[in-house]
Amino acid sequence: MTLALPLFRISFLIKEPQGHLGWSVCHARMTPADDNEDHEQRARANAELIRRMAGGDRDALAELYDKLARPLYATARHILNDAAEAQDVVHDVFLTLWENAASFDSARGAAFSWAVTLTRNRSIDRLRSRSNRARLLGDSVPSDLGYDAEGGFIGGDDLAQLGDRAAAVRSALAELPPDQQKALELAFFSGLTQKEIAEKLSEPIGTVKARIRRGLLKLRDMLAHRL
Amino acid sequence: MIDERHEELAAQHAFGLLEGAERAEFVAAMEASPELRRLVAELTLAATGLAHAAPEATPPEELKARILASAAGRVPAAAPARPPAEVIAFPAWVPWLAAAALGIAALWYGREYSAAQAENGRLQTDAVGALAALHQAQAQLDQERGAALRSLEETQSELARAKQMVTDTSRRVAELSAQLKDQGELAKLKIATLASMLGNSPAAVAVAVWDPSRAQGVLSVSKLPAAAAEKDYQLWVIDKRYPAPVSAGTFVVDPVTGEAHVVFRADKPVDAIAKFAVSLERKGGAPSPQGPIVLISP
């Protein structure tokens, strides 16, 4: 019997010579059932690690670090554009998770979302506290996601190392119209307010809000059960 | 069904972009709507998924060791278990001491209760007295207000009467003024009785009234025989300003009654009339008296 399930595209990042968003897609095959199962398993596994951490289990902390450290560090580093500060942020975030593990409620959201939100907020706080904020914002919010920065470019040898989730996110993001991609990138990584984003894009703030809404709704639909 | 505005706010909330009142308003809306909370959770998951879109970066190996070392010195908030409670043996006199303390406390509270009851009674009495005083003051105020209202009504009635009196007096003054004016004008009239100069008609008589303000007069004649066909009676006004009498026109008497009533004017302006006279002149009258005088005033 032939399975007639729809095919989802899994994209992998490659560098495009002409720049802009620097994303292109390669395709792999994964079924929605696989996605859903993986998503639920990951969520349950992370919640279990947090529960063990609440009981003082440092091995659970080590396992959670192995699962989350890379995207958290990449996020902090991309926002701050500084490796040392990114390490400090990730260090603080994991200690916060460790000390407040008992307050985690899986019904309110995924552990991954909690950790990313902590990382992003602390990175942005540091960014805003810098005295040379304007210059650093200019450096840390490039016109694209900055894959020409040190270590940012993922060459062919690294493609295999990319996780399914990262690939799925990048694939989904690459399918959005460029103006929506840009709005989402700035909203997540820049630490700018909506007004500042509008000024940076030279667009009315209403337009920016609409792009963020449309882009994030599409992203949600494309990434359902895949994070 | 979530509208576009709330979708927009949910997307902004997922990125932590809402601030101030807008954020507070949205959080309140979210608390009231499970559907909206679900949307925010989904969008937050999608938004945080963008962490995977950051350029790949591998944390240094020593970071994990550093974190685990730091965690070793810290205890998760809910991790420590409570130590078992220590059992303490009380001496034998403790229950007696507790009982005595309870007895003393009961006595003290009983006395306090009695005092509170008495104070409560006093307060109730004071309250009743205060309420009575309040009612009395209200009654007095009502009485004074009624008196004031009556006084006001009386004053208003007096005022109305005074206004009526002023109106009546004004009308009376107007009437008196009119009367005085009439009397003044009457005083200015020149009234004269003309007696007969005819031997055959001694009863003939006339009265002339001259109004100088109007420069005209009225002549009333009675028992004067009718003039012949070729003759007319002519009235004359004698003013000292003129050397000759001034004609005041001719008139005809009723041949049956011998009466005549005519309104006359002088041919010249007169203001100092001394006498009136009637003569018998040719038909149509004469410029100066030429016929016999038949009537004349004194």
Question: What integer pLDDT is reported at residue B20 of this predicted model?
Answer: 87
Question: What integer pLDDT is reported at residue B81 of this predicted model?
Answer: 47
Residue A159 forms contact with B (CB below 8 Å): no
ipTM: 0.72
Nearest CA in chain A to B60: A87
Question: Chain B contacts of A78, Cβ < 8 Å?
Answer: 54-55, 57
* Domains of chain A, CATH where assigned: 176-219 (1.10.10.10)
Residue B57 forms contact with A (CB below 8 Å): yes
∠ Cα A17 A21 A23 (to 5°): 75
- Whether the Cβ atoms of residue B234 and residue B205 lie closer than 8 Å to each other: no
* Residue A28 vs residue B104, higher pLDDT: B104
Q: Please judge whether A91 and B66 are an interchain contact, meaning their C-beta atoms are less than 8 angstroms apart.
A: yes
pLDDT reading at A49 higher than 70: yes
Q: Which of A102, A121, A189 sits opposite B77 (nearest CB)?
A: A102
CB neighbour list of residue B242: distance below 8 Å, 6 or more residues apart: B268, B270
Q: How far is A100 from chain B (nearest CA, A)?
A: 6
pLDDT reading at A29 higher than 60: no
pLDDT reading at A92 higher than 60: yes
Mean pLDDT per block of 10 residues along chain B (298 residues) reads 90 91 90 91 90 90 93 74 47 75 83 80 77 82 86 87 83 81 77 86 88 90 91 93 93 92 93 90 92 91
If contacts are CB pairs under 8 Å, which of residues 164-223 in chain A contact chain B? 165-166, 168-170, 173, 184-185, 187-189, 193-194, 209-210, 212-213, 216-217, 219-220, 223
Q: Please judge whether B76 and A101 are an interchain contact, meaning their C-beta atoms are less than 8 angstroms apart.
A: yes
Residue B34 forms contact with A (CB below 8 Å): no
Residue A71 forms contact with B (CB below 8 Å): yes
* Residue A224 vs residue A203, higher pLDDT: A203
User: What DSSP string runs through B244-297?
Assistant: SPEEEEEE---TTT--EEEEE--SS--S-EEEEEEEEEETT--SS--S-EEEE-
Q: Give the pLDDT band of residue A140 (cuts 50, 70, 90).
A: very low
Question: What integer pLDDT is reported at residue A11 of this predicted model?
Answer: 29
Residue A227 forms contact with B (CB below 8 Å): yes
Measure the CA–CA gap between A21 and A15, rounded to whole angstroms.
9
Q: Give the pLDDT band of residue A2 (cuts 50, 70, 90).
A: very low
Q: Please judge whether B8 and A227 are an interchain contact, meaning their C-beta atoms are less than 8 angstroms apart.
A: no
Nearest CA in chain B to A55: B79
Q: Please judge whether B45 and A227 are an interchain contact, meaning their C-beta atoms are less than 8 angstroms apart.
A: yes
* Residue B63 vs residue A140, higher pLDDT: B63
Question: What integer pLDDT is reported at residue B80 of this predicted model?
Answer: 47
The residue among B27, B39, B45, B62 with the most chain A CBs within 10 A of its CB, best to mutate, is B45
Parse chain B into domains and list their residue ranges: 1-49, 190-296
pLDDT reading at A152 higher than 60: no
Residue carrying the six token digits 């103006």: A179
Q: What is the pTM for the complete model shown?
A: 0.49
Q: Give the pLDDT band of residue A17 (cuts 50, 70, 90).
A: very low
pLDDT reading at A24 higher than 80: no
Question: Chain A contacts of B56, Cβ < 8 Å?
Answer: 70, 74, 151-152, 154, 158, 161-162, 166
Question: What integer pLDDT is reported at residue A10 of this predicted model?
Answer: 28
Question: Chain B contacts of A147, Cβ < 8 Å?
Answer: 55
pLDDT reading at A6 higher than 60: no
Measure the CA–CA gap between A103 and B78, rounded to whole angstroms.
8
Question: What integer pLDDT is reported at residue B140 of this predicted model?
Answer: 85
Render pLDDT for B261-276 as a digit per residue (tens, 0 to 9).
999 999 999 888 889 9
CB pairs under 8 A between A and B: 197
Question: What integer pLDDT is reported at residue A37 of this predicted model?
Answer: 61
Residue B167 forms contact with A (CB below 8 Å): no
Residue A19 forms contact with B (CB below 8 Å): no
B196 SS3 class? strand
Question: What integer pLDDT is reported at residue A135 of this predicted model?
Answer: 52
Residues pairing with B280 in the sheet:
B233
pLDDT reading at A34 higher than 70: no
In terms of Cα–Cα distance, which of B29, B28, B38 is closest to B6? B29
* Residue A76 vs residue A12, higher pLDDT: A76
Q: Give the pLDDT band of residue A21 (cuts 50, 70, 90).
A: very low
pLDDT reading at A22 higher than 50: no
Q: Give the pLDDT band of residue A88 (cuts 50, 70, 90).
A: very high
Residue B137 forms contact with A (CB below 8 Å): no
- Whether the Cβ atoms of residue A69 and residue B68 lie closer than 8 Å to each other: no
Helix or strand holding residue B194 (H, E): strand B190-196
If contacts are CB pairs under 8 Å, which of residues 70-89 in chain B contact chain A? 70-72, 74-79
Residue B125's Cβ-side half-sphere holds a number of Cα atoms within 13 Å equal to: 6
Nearest CA in chain B to A174: B53
Tell me which of A1-5, A67-71, B248-252 is least confident: A1-5
Q: Give the pLDDT band of residue A214 (cuts 50, 70, 90).
A: very high
Task: Classify residue A140 as exposed, middle or buried by CB count within 10 Å of its CB (0-12, 13-18, 19+).
Answer: buried
Q: Please judge whether A73 and B11 are an interchain contact, meaning their C-beta atoms are less than 8 angstroms apart.
A: no
* Residue A214 vs residue A108, higher pLDDT: A214
The residue among A98, A128, A158, A161 with the most chain B CBs within 10 A of its CB, best to mutate, is A98
Question: Chain A contacts of B64, Cβ < 8 Å?
Answer: 62, 65-66, 69
Nearest CA in chain A to B55: A152
